[in-house]
A and B are shown apart, each in its own frame.
Chain A
């Protein structure tokens, strides 16, 4: 060894040691609990925070300058199918799930791919409704993603390689999973889709480090458990009640809040007489044990496929002079609800679209149903339609103005029902719908701003057709939405004035924009169709 070589070796060893001593900072539970930081440096959980408010503190882009937004880059998936995902951002890297269980890590400055993960899916997969995925969760150096064949994967954030693979249930029996997980403490919370295939739904928690299941909460009680008597005969075994949209979490109460899907078979009432708990309900579950703390059933004995799989939003509001811990929920059944999230009691409930099946919620918390809205072989017309007054696309909440925003649908449908036969792994809906239009019931959509203390509409922005876009608000007074014709829209969140638009070429189906800071510039990232596009003001 020469006299020069020895110092080089020492220097190299020192550099290597230094690199090994300072690995990339791990994602902590604290930063997930902290939600969206003021510096805009991260978006590390589905709804921005456990509250699902999707309200960013960033103010660089304002109603006054939003017209100046220019695209920074566009990423194309190169896969079949469309985004329904919420991307996550950490350390200037975007982690994105796509259709067909493909996922990417992208450089948020340039949109350039760092790694790509693709899962081989079985050829006999029958997942309903769309081969989609709604996003990652993250903790430590791992990403968590569910799969269409009903697995939960942990991927290495730096490589996209699988760390562990847990089976939720057998896809051949109709189970699938599309939900964005969330991480609570050391657990990953997920649910199963398959409400149209006669599954028995559940919410699961898995140890983030090992993939070992920590607990399971079945959304349909077994015999002997409270609520099983709300299912006639053995109908509980195939009652659906899937969980495919991400819930919220209150760290102080240590409660998870998840909306539960429709009972199955979807339309045929006599196949499952009873209220059918906890289908079409909101369940509050202890995050450590998976035990049910309370529930509220929005649509007892639903026969219109009105999953309660909309995104719940948490906030602390002063109502009638009293501080209240509330949960806000715009339901597929056409009603908007403000619930007390400590006990599930209704504070306020009111239709936010035309509803013909019920006009109001009674004092006992049950909808006061109108006659003639049980589907049969001859068909019955009900509003809202099967897709509902809204659906899984995320709403948003601006705490500064105490306003809940939702993309609402005005549509009706003729519902039919007949007795179905159950065969494991096959569709089990017992009916069908047919679009219904008339001059008195026109089909359209609207972005609606709702006061959660009264249910009153503050303003609306009408679309030609119902929109399926999720929403994002910012502290500067902006709301980002989209119509179903592919227009990305920015509006003034105080009054609904349209400020800026861009034709994306595809609608934001079930996706929302997210926003963050890169090198001192606020970016707005928009998944639409097969593209991700980042926007910012000119440098």
Chain B
């Protein structure tokens, strides 16, 4: 075997290895050239339905696909084959490397699903979590339900986003967690988070975690509270080090997600 032949064979093994590994991992993830190419492909082929920011227009929001447990391999297959019986078309003319490019770009729009460079102590973070968060949030079946379940939050959000949210730098709330106060015609006000609403009724989880529906005609007032129920944890409440520990703990979480077919 000549040196040249060796290089070709070795190169092939590297590519083949990458392709084999591609069953679970995008070989082009993080590749800046691929991301740029993927941006063009995404805009040309996907953005009209899924939106420029992938948060959905005609088609669904796809920024949380990894967070919900989809794999690179599964997403690759979805893009290539489409979803029969829906508007999601197959892309038979899309080369494999172009599909990976799209996923590499989409990954930059979606939140990180992997812990970034280790920082902080997860064990310590767990204690901070239990002291400050558990009354409203739930992890792996334990904790409160008024706030979003955090069992996979580390896979769904980047460190920066988590930090902003904890520190109170992000306005708004997820659908289903909008704070609301209902004032019945008689009796005391009911505080909770709104789960659904139409012209005639509203469905909430109250502060005692009871899910209830109310006919609006039975209410004196329905007040939507403009601010999230999530308090801002400034550095006076959680130090920089404790924040690192807390985020590190959240990044280790890989809870069960029933939306994902195991």
Contact = CB atoms under 8 A, between A and B. Distances in A.
B187 interface: no
B258 to A, nearest CB: 22
Interface string A456-489: 0000000110000000000000000001011100
A389 interface: no
A123 B53 CA distance: 29
B48 A432 contact: yes
Nearest to B90: A124
Contacts of A130: 87
A386 B57 contact: yes
A366 interface: no
A485 B55 contact: no
Interface string A118-156: 000001101111110000000000000000000000000
Closest 8 CB pairs of A and B: A432-B47, A485-B198, A126-B89, A80-B85, A429-B48, A434-B52, A432-B52, A432-B48
Interface string A357-386: 000000000000000000000010000001
21 contacts: A124-B92, A126-B90, A196-B48, A414-B52, A418-B43, A426-B45, A427-B44, A429-B48, A431-B48, A432-B43, A432-B48, A432-B57, A433-B51, A433-B52, A433-B57, A434-B52, A435-B51, A483-B198, A486-B198, A487-B199, A487-B200
B93 interface: yes
Interface of A: 80-81, 100, 123-124, 126-131, 196, 266, 379, 386, 414, 416, 418, 420-421, 423, 426-427, 429, 431-435, 463-464, 483, 485-487, 501, 503
B161 to A, nearest CB: 19
Contacts of B57: 386, 432-435
A416 B200 contact: no
Given A130-B87, A386-B57, A426-B93, A487 B45 contact: no
B52 A416 contact: yes
A303 B89 CA distance: 24
Interface in B27-68: 43-45, 47-48, 51-53, 55, 57-58
A153 B202 CA distance: 46
A286 B130 CA distance: 75
Interface size class of B (residues with CB under 8 A): 20 to 34
Contacts of A386: 57
A434 B53 CA distance: 7
B84 interface: yes
Contacts of A123: 84, 90
A391 B209 CA distance: 41
B199 A483 contact: yes
Interface string B67-93: 000000000000000001111011011
B123 interface: no
Contact of B198 (A196, A429, A487): A487
Contacts of A483: 198-199
Contact of A434 (B51, B84, B86, B200): B51
Residue from B58, B90, B199 having most chain A Cβ neighbours under 10 A: B199
B197 interface: yes
Contacts of A421: 44
B199 A463 contact: yes
Contacts of A463: 199
Contacts of A418: 43-44
A73 B101 CA distance: 51
A131 B51 contact: no
A100 B47 CA distance: 25
Nearest to B89: A126
A427 B48 contact: yes
Contacts of A266: 48
Contacts of A426: 45, 93
Contact of B197 (A126, A432, A464, A503): A464
A498 to B, nearest CB: 8
A123 B45 CA distance: 19
Nearest to A79: B85
A386 B52 CA distance: 13
Nearest to A489: B199
A440 to B, nearest CB: 16
Nearest to A132: B87
Given A416-B52, A487-B199, 18 more contacts: A124-B90, A129-B58, A129-B87, A130-B87, A379-B52, A416-B43, A418-B43, A420-B44, A423-B93, A426-B45, A427-B44, A427-B45, A432-B51, A435-B55, A435-B57, A483-B199, A485-B198, A486-B198
A464 B85 contact: no
A485 B202 CA distance: 12
Contacts of B58: 129
A5 B44 CA distance: 78
Contacts of A416: 43, 47, 52
B226 to A, nearest CB: 10
Contacts of B48: 196, 266, 427, 429, 431-433
Contact of A464 (B45, B90, B199): B199
Contacts of A433: 48, 51-52, 57
Nearest to B88: A126
B92 to A, nearest CB: 7
A421 B45 CA distance: 11
A491 to B, nearest CB: 12
A435 B54 CA distance: 11
Contacts of B87: 127-131
A196 B89 CA distance: 13
Nearest to B84: A123
Residue from A127, A130, A196, A433 having most chain B Cβ neighbours under 10 A: A433
Contacts of A129: 58, 87
Contacts of A196: 48
Contacts of B53: 434
Residue from B44, B55, B86 having most chain A Cβ neighbours under 10 A: B44
A129 B89 CA distance: 11
Contacts of B199: 463-464, 483, 485, 487
A434 B85 CA distance: 25
